[in-house]
A = this chain, B = another copy of it.
Amino acid sequence: MRLTQSTNGSVPKGPLGVLIVGMGAVSTSFIAGVHAVRKGLGKPFGSLTQMGRLPYGEANGTVPFGDLVPLAGLDDLVFGGWDLYPDDAYASARNARVLDRDLLEELRPELEAIQPWKGLYDPRFVRRLEATHCLPAGSHAASVERVERDIVRFRKTTGAERMVLLFTASTEAHAEMGALHEDPAAFEKALRQDDPRISPGMLYAYAALRQGIPIINCTPSRVADFPAFEEIGASHGIPIAGRDLKTGQTLMKTILAPGFKMRALGVAGWYSTNILGNRDGEVLDDPDCFKTKQESKLSVLRSILDPEQYPDMYGDLAHNVRIDYYKPRGDNKEAWDNIDVFGWLGYPMQIKINFLCRDSILAAPLVLDLALLADLAQRAGEAGFVEWMSLFFKSPTVHEEPAVHDLYRQYAMLETAMQDIAARLADEHLEPKRSVI
């Protein structure tokens, strides 16, 4: 099945520039994977835009995402980015030990070609890291300017008219939201005054906004999910989405909890423990970081189960979340959950789940989807916080709380958005995409 190519402006042409803040395990797995798929060395499992299908035509008919909405192709992606270490993408991917060595050797030239630019470094926000590859300290304004300069240079050398910015750097220290985050003017004033509450992540995001580039925040850090930036995005046609990619245990929770609720089963407790042996794990051994992560994880169940509406079933739920550094697990991750449910007359039952998962293997395809969908969203006229991307995040950034966490409602939102965009672009005289199954 092939679709007639349209000449309409809403169909993407030319390269899509993918700007990456932080070249670690997730982002190099993403880049390497895209190259592997291009070379026919693997398939992009875990990516909805590549492997999923959307309803189309008569009953039960479906088409790939790309046949319904005009997504950029994998061949169109060009990569650039910043890091606090000078390793190229090959060295960084080797170091991350996510992908097999054999595969990385086959991709070596493509990966070695990606050399990170010097990153913004602020020890107030990034501890436990000895940056060796950073821009000279300077005013906030100077930092933004340098980042913009990198972007402009990248646009020229690659010819990428369209871009997206992916934030995949190490989690920043907790940033309290304040008045400076409330509106654009306040933020800009604080920026000029070198306000210490502005983190490197916010500076990257601000530079992207100034360049009209959509922002995808894959981490728990708060780099763009506040009113000041939403207002800039909304008024300038720039989509923004985040926070914290929804991978292992939380993904399972948002699959299971709606299921329990749809059968009116009560939940007395949910005990979750995670063991992981990479840098993430070490960082989370820091109680402050852990607290933030835990709070984000806890809210998911509350949101789905809605104890206020269902006090008998979920009002007394004991929810523990543990994250422990455990060296032997290495770059993998493991979760053990115990769930105490109850049925008829309150009789108890137990469910234990042991998930042996791999963070980057689950995250990389989400990064790909988000890059392509952010670009699509911008072309389709979306601006500000994009709520239909909630499916991909632990703490979806929304205009108004509460966010939707239930995976199935999130998926329905995404599907509806795709249909809407398809219809909207069709109205703009796009040749309707047709499938010939």
Give the docked Cα–Cα distance between A354 and B356 (Å).
12
| CB nearest to A353 among chain B residues | B353
A248 CB, nearest partner CB in chain B, Å: 9
A48 near B349 (CB under 8 angstroms)?
A: no
Given A45-B343, A310-B53, A364-B344, the answer on whether A262 and B407 have CB atoms closer than 8 Å is: yes
B328/A269 in contact, CB under 8 A: yes
Is B50 a contact of A264 with CB atoms below 8 Å? yes
Main secondary structure, interface of A, reads mixed
From A44, A265, A328, A342, residue with most partner B Cβ within 10 Å? A328
A343-B407 contact, Cβ under 8 Å, with A349-B357, A351-B354, A353-B352: no
Task: Say yes or no: is A7 at the interface (Cβ < 8 Å to chain B).
Answer: no
Among B256, B336, B353, B357, the residue within 8 A (CB) of A273 is B336
A291 within 8 A of B: no
User: Is B361 in contact with A349, judged by CB distance below 8 angstroms?
Assistant: yes
Asked, given contacts A46-B263, A407-B262, whether A312 binds B365 with beta carbons under 8 Å apart, the answer is: no
Q: From residue 86 to 110 of chain A, which have CB atoms closer than 8 A to chain B?
A: 98-99, 101-103
**Known: A256-B255, A324-B320, A324-B322. Contact between A45 and B345, CB under 8 A?**
yes
A238 at the interface (CB under 8 A from B): no
- Interchain CB contact under 8 A, A356 and B351: yes
A37 CA to B344 CA, complexed, in Å: 10
* Cross-interface CB contact of A309 among B62, B98, B365, cutoff 8 Å: B62
List 10 other contacts, CB 8 Å, given A269-B326, A343-B361: A43-B312, A44-B344, A46-B265, A48-B264, A53-B309, A53-B310, A273-B336, A322-B322, A343-B358, A344-B364
A residues at B contact (CB < 8 Å): 29, 33, 36-37, 41-48, 50-53, 62, 98-99, 101-103, 251-252, 254-256, 258-259, 262-266, 268-269, 271, 273, 275, 309-310, 312-313, 318, 320, 322, 324, 326-329, 334, 336, 338, 340, 342-358, 360-362, 364-365, 391, 407-408, 411
